[in-house]
Structure 1
Amino acid sequence: MLDIQLIRQQTDLVSRKLAKKGCNVDFTEFLKLDKERRALIQKTEELKALRNKVSAQIPLMKKNGEDVGQQLAEMKNVAEEVKRLDADLARINEKQTTFLQSLPNLPDDDLVGGGKENNKVISMWGKKPEFDFQPLHHVDIAEKLHLIDYNRGAKMAGSGSWVYTGDGALLEWALLNYFVEQHIADGYTMILPPHMLNYASGYTAGQFPKFIDDVYWLDHAEERSNFMLPTAETALVNLYRDEILDEKELPKRFFAYTPCYRREAGSYRAEERGMIRGHQFNKVEMFQYTTKDGSDAAFEELVGKACKLVEGLGLHYRLSKLAAGDCSASMARTYDIEIWIPSMNDYKEISSVSNARDYQARRGNMRYRDSKTGKIEFVHTLNGSGLATSRVFPAILEQYQTADGKVRVPEVLQKYLHGKTVLG
């Protein structure tokens, strides 16, 4: 959620930044309500102060035998007026909150406006694989080597689902073990969060109420009390909801393994067959809570960690800086690590590293006490995939395929596959 003080004091700046995300906002009505709200608060406080003063005088007047009828009548009128003003204030607060909830995060100053057409490739790593044979699509490789059973996955759960089998299951598990081992070595704390979350968790993450239909709800639609997490970020960002942290504890570095449950899988394009999009996939998520001053360094650290994981696998990828309009609603900046998928002749995102600044912290009321000023400040929250397997797996099959239809196993994964160097 955006800082109401910033909107009040620098309205034009906020409007320009939001426009970079394609969000054109007129704050006239909001500021008018804000002015009315502050006047109501002042009037209510004055009446309550008067009520307290007179209420303290009435017992003394009674003790002295004085008539308090007029005072009691006045206090009754004051009580009714306070009740009316409180109702007006509640109505305005609800309107303002609803308005603020609809606004995305402000993009960082260095981000260009517009959508993905304005994304910028920052760097490339590794050599794009070249083949002296006709390379296969990862679906064909997976089926030929009995690594994935797409048909039985669809039979059990519908389209956008699959079953890992044999060496395919071991390869998937090897990837997860590799990611976990690297994060532990970097000093991150492992978390295994619940997969069923409540509405407040989705709200803090910035997904609700705007994207309330993008998740799988477990209850009847009208209740919507619990949903399946779309990413571990949604859980990790709620660890310290409504808490005040000690600055000495920051930064806090976590990672979590979970399956992710997404409704978006049904919208994939025909060329994205296989595992590129699915209703359920595995991911290891990185997350940090930091101070404002430590926010930028944490972002660079997360980007570096995601890149290092892909480089350890020896896979060709590129690093892209997203334009403001391509960043998700909750994020101030995002870098995508995009892996090369030969059959698609394109790069696909396998990790998005993002900085929400204090946007999520405001929604979740997550703060820390500044050791220098003693003031309570909002933490900054950052997240990054480290990594999602559903696109790494296809990239390995396609980038490491051989002319005889087999797949070489990246060296860092071989120890998790009982020393196997080749699949098939």
Structure 2
Amino acid sequence: MPASTREAVRTAVLADSDTRWKWGALTARRITPESVEPTGFVLRGRATPTARQLTETGVSDTAPREVTGAEFLREVRDAEARGEGYDVVVLALVGGAVRALLQGLADLGLARRPVIVTGYVGVVYEKLTDGLLLRHGADVVLANSRHDAERFRAVYEGVGASAEPVVEAALPFLGGAPHTPEAGRDTLVFAAQPSVPATRAERAYVLRRLVGHARLHPDREVLLKLRSKPGEHTTHLEEFPFQKLVRELDAPANFRLVYGHMGEVLDRTDLLVTVSSTAALEALHRRVPTAVLTDLGVREALGNHHFVGSGLLTSFDLLDRGLVPAPDETWLARQGVAADTPYEAAFDAARERVAALLALPALPPVTPYYTAETAPGYLPGVLARHRLDVTAPEPRESGLRRVVREAARGAYRQGVQRVAPVIRRLGEL
């Protein structure tokens, strides 16, 4: 029966990193009418977040359950068998995993499949076309701004695929009180990213300039906001953690590292500086003065090319002299931040589309763009990397096996984070 006839909408969120869990959980709450608290799952893999990372997202008191893709599909199938089927599934995953789960959900043969929602956790500055086509087939592909919605539709229409699933919304974690200066407070926050910039030399440069800025302005608190601790992973691999690089510098007392929820850090921020972090959009939404660095160039690899036309591009030399850029209001509106319309209204179209789909007697078949006909030399490899065997019996995991698995995961992370980069550097000698 249509989900609209039920008392509440049951939603599941599957994420593959801490940032995508934050996006997925908040998105689920904003787009599902009369929804109960979404059931959370995190995909077991390279970027599986730790309990600390999940807690610091601040989105739920209940930790999501760690699963494989096949285990998630079995849960969806078994929930329907119990009469507790999910009405909406939010896939907060990389594109290849989304395409695999689309296939898996279609192959379950459910009496009524859930509405499938996906999107992006922040600024889309790389692999736009491939990422979008891998996500095609979902019922709703959320765009975080008018700018993104136009780009997404252009890609789908350009390859002859339906652009109907594209729905303009906003980043679900914007909000918080507008910036209010406080007498005696002067806090600069640098929002770090795990892979931007990527090289050791460039990351060391940024750190030297940040520490140098702190020395030039001893009355200013300079905070380096970090997303993960050494050994933890986020959406992207971090080969050269700032925590290690800072040990090589004699940082002044007014410079320090901070962790925690970005919104809470922004509560006491007077200037947000970054290369291209989505934190810039969070800050701009709250009217926190914001600067995007050009010191390493304005390059697609850095993602700061996304801010061309924003009025925010600047350098450490200018910041050292006290010059703070002013944002372009037209650019802000197109990016879905600091817009004239109320923030909650940004999700009206998404809520309406989900509600309309839930009210249908039956949902249409999942019809992705990438199929055995359109991409016979590409799709099999994508599906193989995310192999899903729902029919295989789920192994019973003893306490010892669970301990061994966690230890193996730790060893794997250690290898990816520390050993592999050393081997690569030795190979370059």
| Normalised TM-score (structure 2) | 0.23
Q: More helix per residue: 1 or 2?
A: 1
Higher strand share: 1
**What TM-score do the two structures reach when normalised by structure 1?**
0.23
